[in-house]
């Protein structure tokens, strides 16, 4: 019986430890499907089909100034990959790749098998330490002693197990349990994304849509177009027997009452609203762009934004268009003139104490396009 359990244990061990590296290699090397500006044009079809662009699509699609092309629905630009990624959920630093349309299933399977492998390893560590301690424990009338030098019941153990091995096993058990909890939570989050057919970015867009409608009292009703109303239908769009997700990453099935551009139209409305509500500032102090600036005050140092978004360096006299902020930090865009001409945009966080709000004293000093003058 013990031999049968040992053989089954080995099968589980070999399956998990062989399949996990394969999945890790797949999600690290498999391209999540980029929207290449040379290949993709306004009609969301590839140029080698020689189809003509349709001007009505320009009205509903977002334009990426970095890639200099129109974004396909559900696509977003990743500043790490420097590409627009189809159905982008997030950029994972652990695999140095984006989780998107092509590798979403492999990424989710890896998040499932990694905790299972750690649970299996935790079971082995616990049973090993229990067995070794049981062989070395002795009970007295008033105390319990553990002799880690050698096993009392087995003078010649097959595997040497001393104090250092016990400490290493205990440390490995902690790592396995920590990985199980952390990666297991990520797996639950990704399964929620798959079953609702709504990426993390799209959940944020939907939340902002509700806030916009409530703030302006427009009377609109925003319906997320890609949730098919059935968890099984949403699941089948990602997981297939062939391993290739459904569709081409450009055209997506939508629910009744929606169309292909329902989400992109809402994104355009939110961007227009952000431009209207932005405020112009001028830098009054230099800022090097470090994450936690010591010279800008204790509160600024300890309240730095916990986000992957970059910081931008400032010099006295720089103009910044701020779009959002915290108590001691602000987020905005620098080099407004070059951005308007289609140049590289510098966006990121900077300390609030380094800037002051611009005052419009003359009619010739006008705010930039879309900026709110009185706030």
* Stronger pLDDT, 185 or 308, i.e. the higher one: 185
pLDDT at 145 (0 to 100) = 56
Domain 278-357 fold: SH3 type barrels. (2.30.30)
Q: What is the pLDDT of residues 278-304, one digit of tens each?
A: 899 999 999 999 988 988 999 999 999
Q: What CA–CA distance (Å, rounded) separates 174 from 330?
A: 39
> pTM higher than 0.95, yes or no?
no
Lowest mean pLDDT among 37-51, 88-102, 128-142, 322-336: 37-51
Q: What CA–CA distance (Å, rounded) separates 287 from 296?
A: 9
pLDDT higher than threshold 70 for residue 195: yes
Q: What CA–CA distance (Å, rounded) separates 249 from 100?
A: 9
pLDDT at 208 (0 to 100) = 92
Lowest mean pLDDT among 97-111, 225-239, 360-374: 360-374
* Stronger pLDDT, 91 or 24, i.e. the higher one: 91
pLDDT (average), residues 74-103: 88
Q: What is the pLDDT of residues 239-292, one digit of tens each?
A: 988 888 888 888 899 998 888 899 999 999 999 998 888 899 999 999 999 988
pLDDT higher than threshold 70 for residue 212: yes
pLDDT (average), residues 62-73: 85
How much is the mean pLDDT over the chain?
Answer: 78
Query: Residue 209 is encoded by which pair of tokens?
Result: 């849509």
Percentage of the chain beyond pLDDT 90 is 36
Count the helices and strands in the chain (H runs, E runs): 9, 13
Q: How confident is the model at residue 368 (pLDDT cuts 50, 70, 90)?
A: very low
Q: How confident is the model at residue 49 (pLDDT cuts 50, 70, 90)?
A: very low
pLDDT higher than threshold 70 for residue 120: yes
Lowest mean pLDDT among 51-55, 68-72, 202-206, 268-272: 51-55
pLDDT at 360 (0 to 100) = 59
pLDDT at 42 (0 to 100) = 37
Interior/surface letters 229-256, b for 16+ CB within 10 angstroms, e for the rest: eeeeebeebbeeeeeebeeebbebebee
Percentage of the chain beyond pLDDT 70 is 71
**Using an 8 Å Cβ cutoff, are 245 and 105 in contact?**
yes
Domain locations in the chain? 2-29+104-196, 200-272, 278-357
E strand or H helix that includes residue 215: helix 200-216
Which residue shows structure tokens 């153990």? 157
Q: What is the pLDDT of residues 126-182, one digit of tens each?
A: 988 887 777 666 555 555 455 555 555 555 555 677 778 888 999 999 999 999 999
Lowest mean pLDDT among 16-25, 62-71, 226-235: 16-25
**Using an 8 Å Cβ cutoff, are 324 and 331 in contact?**
yes
pLDDT at 70 (0 to 100) = 85
Q: Which of 28, 64, 81, 92 is catalytic?
A: 92
pLDDT higher than threshold 60 for residue 109: yes
pLDDT at 24 (0 to 100) = 58
pLDDT at 6 (0 to 100) = 46
pLDDT at 300 (0 to 100) = 92
Q: How confident is the model at residue 309 (pLDDT cuts 50, 70, 90)?
A: confident
pLDDT at 232 (0 to 100) = 94
Q: Would residue 92 show up in a list of annotated catalytic residues for this protein?
A: yes
Q: What angle do CA 182, 206, 64 make, to 5 degrees?
A: 90
Lowest mean pLDDT among 42-46, 57-61, 216-220: 42-46
């Amino acid at each position: 019986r013990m031999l049968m359990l040992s053989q089954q244990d080995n099968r589980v061990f070999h399956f998990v430890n062989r399949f996990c590296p394969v999945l890790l290699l797949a999600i690290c090397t498999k391209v999540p499907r980029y929207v290449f500006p040379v290949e993709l044009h306004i009609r969301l079809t590839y140029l080698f089909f020689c189809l003509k662009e349709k001007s009505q699509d320009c009205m509903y699609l977002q334009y990426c100034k970095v890639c200099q092309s129109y974004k396909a629905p559900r696509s977003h630009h990743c500043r790490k990959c420097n590409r627009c990624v189809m159905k982008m959920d997030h950029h994972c630093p652990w695999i140095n790749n984006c989780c998107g349309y092509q590798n979403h299933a492999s990424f989710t399977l890896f998040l499932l098998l990694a905790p299972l492998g750690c649970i299996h390893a935790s079971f082995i560590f616990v049973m090993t330490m229990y067995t070794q301690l049981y062989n070395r424990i002795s009970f007295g009338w008033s105390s319990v002693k553990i002799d880690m030098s050698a096993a009392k019941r087995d003078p010649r153990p097959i595997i040497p197990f001393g104090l250092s091995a016990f400490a290493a096993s205990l440390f490995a058990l902690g790592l396995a349990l920590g990985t199980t909890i952390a990666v297991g939570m990520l797996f639950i989050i990704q399964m929620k994304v798959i079953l609702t057919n709504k990426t993390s970015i799209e959940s944020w867009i939907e939340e902002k849509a509700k806030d916009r409608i409530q703030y302006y009292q427009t009377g609109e009703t925003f319906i997320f177009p890609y949730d098919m109303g059935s968890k099984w239908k949403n699941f089948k769009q990602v997981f297939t027997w062939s391993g290739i997700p459904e569709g081409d990453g450009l055209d997506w099935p939508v629910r009744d009452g929606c169309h292909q551009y329902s989400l992109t139209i809402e994104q355009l409305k939110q961007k227009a609203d952000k431009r209207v509500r932005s405020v112009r500032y001028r830098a009054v102090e230099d800022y090097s762009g470090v994450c936690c600036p010591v010279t800008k005050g204790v509160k600024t140092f300890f309240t730095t934004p916990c986000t992957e978004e970059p910081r931008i360096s400032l010099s006295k006299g720089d103009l910044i268009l701020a779009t959002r902020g915290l108590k001691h930090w602000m987020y905005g865009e620098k080099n407004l003139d070059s951005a308007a001409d289609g140049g590289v945009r510098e966006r990121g966080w900077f300390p609030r104490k380094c800037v002051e709000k611009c005052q419009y004293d003359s009619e010739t000093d006008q705010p930039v396009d879309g900026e709110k003058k009185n706030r």
